[in-house]
Amino acid sequence: MLKKTLLLILFSLTVQSQNLSEILNLTTDIPNGTARFESMGGAFGALGGDLSAINTNPAGSAVFIDNQYGFTLSSEKKENKTIFFNSSVDENDNKFSFNQGGAVWILKNSGGGNINKISFGFNAQTNNSYKNNFEISGRNTKNSIDTFFLNNSVGLNVSDLSVGSNESISRVYRYLGENYGYSAQQAFLAYQSYLINYDEISKSFFSLANYENGVDQRYISETKGVNTKYNINIGIQFKENFYFGMNINTHDLYIQNWTGHNETNFSENSAISEINFENQITTQGEGLSLQFGGIAKLKSFRFGISYQSPTWYTLRDETWQSIDVKSIDLDGITYQDIVNPNVLNIYPDYKINTPSSLTTSAAVVIGKFGILSMDLVSKDYSKSKLRPKRDFTSINTEISSKLTNTIDLRIGGEIRLEKLSLRVGYTKLESPYKDSLTMTDSNSTSFGFGYDFDGILLSFSHKILKSNKNHSLFDSGLTDSAEVMTKHSLSNISLIFKF
């Protein structure tokens, strides 16, 4: 444990534990609202009159005629299929949740003046659900996880990664994290588990694994958590045909991702026979954003526009990891070296500013028979920023260079048959990546129905969202990726009360 003072200038004291894919998880909004909202593809920017429509255009609360409150229950299923070196794995996962609840109160102007109505609303709903599990498995003929550890060992030597006679694994691991950061901890795990060794001549580390004929890899990712958004709303109806509104939004975010990486079947002459590497990262925090919007009625047509400010998040990360390596010496004796520091790395708070968005909407109301509506949502993901800037220069540069502006399309329709309503919807979400190979555009189709029991509205919706993306196993060294094809099925039941 010498030469630490010299190395302090080589490593950032702040660990950038989030990669680009994880940053997009935090900045992407995939709202799950009322059954009516979901069945019509979320195309409510020019309509209003729905509790979840407040989340799209805050002017929508002033469209309500009566006071309302309600809630929504949701059942979702995610089916993931991965393809990695011509091997495929299927994984299914289910979740049941209470995903939306809210109310709107209307104050009507019974006197004169241009303000016909003032509305106050509150809505809480899922802004993004992170529940997602998948497995990647196949024989990699190119790389092993040893390249990840070797990349993180550059600039270090044996004395930096050694454990002294009056030191412990936990103490050194913690010291490296506090003083040198993430890379030094990864190199330490690999060196202490005898996966890598040091060459005094070249002054660099080398791997003890041999995989000239390839290696079997199994990678498991299990994610849970949710981003809940709370709308505090005020709206007004100006004269007969104009509506305006504002939201103050708060966000409550929690996401936990555990990954396990296993490698077996190395070459016969390999000193390494098996590697198990586990990582867990937990991110939680709070956010604040503002929304402004307006709706205009022109006979049968409705037009809407709404702006959402960036969401200003304050987040904190916690990480945990361990490694288990099996090896064989020249005499054929098998060893198992488990390095589990039992240290929870807790990093300083940092901030993420998500991009703002602009929604333009149009709809046509066909008497009492039905509705057709459309929303266009513009959002430039390259404007996302992490702060403080000095600690996130690399990831901010990656965001600016690899992400782009998206224009999402939402279309919805409703047919009214007296008290019964039939609904359909379609949504197209553009990929935020400039490189379409990383993630393709995704789309969803939805349908549903509702029935008015004279003061109680019961609605049901079912939506299927399909998406494809490439998932890199690690962000350094072992960057080989698997294709992940996801089918996300979502069923909602909403109960709305008029009062």
CATH number at residue 220: 2.40.160.60
Looking at the predicted structure, is the pLDDT value of residue 304 above 50?
A: yes
Q: Is residue 101 part of a domain?
A: yes
pLDDT (average), residues 53-62: 97
The token duo for 132 is 């997602």
Residue-number span of the structural domain to which 342 is assigned: 10-140+209-498
**Residue-wise pLDDT tens digits, 405-464:** 999 999 999 999 999 999 999 999 999 999 888 899 999 999 999 999 999 999 999 999
At 220, which amino acid appears? I
Confidence of residue 391 (pLDDT cuts 50, 70, 90): confident
HSE of 79, CA atoms in CB hemisphere, 13 A: 6
Comparing 311-315, 397-401, 436-440, the range with the smallest average pLDDT is 436-440
Q: Is residue 182 part of a domain?
A: no
pLDDT (average), residues 264-268: 96
Q: What pLDDT does 3 receive? A: 35
Q: Is residue 257 part of a domain?
A: yes
- d(CA 441, CA 431) in angstroms, rounded, equals 5
Q: Is residue 397 part of a domain?
A: yes
**Residue-wise pLDDT tens digits, 336-364:** 999 999 999 999 999 999 999 999 999 99
- d(CA 238, CA 268) in angstroms, rounded, equals 79
> pTM of the predicted model, to two decimals?
0.90
Domain count, the chain: 1
Q: Is residue 191 part of a domain?
A: no
Q: Is residue 146 part of a domain?
A: no
Torsion, Cα 124 127 133 136, to 10 degrees, reads 180
The token duo for 482 is 């698997």
Q: Is residue 89 part of a domain?
A: yes
Q: Is residue 463 part of a domain?
A: yes
How much is the mean pLDDT over the chain? 93
**Residue-wise pLDDT tens digits, 197-246:** 999 999 999 999 999 999 999 999 999 999 999 999 999 999 999 999 99
**Residue-wise pLDDT tens digits, 146-168:** 999 999 999 999 999 999 989 99
Q: What pLDDT does 9 receive? A: 31
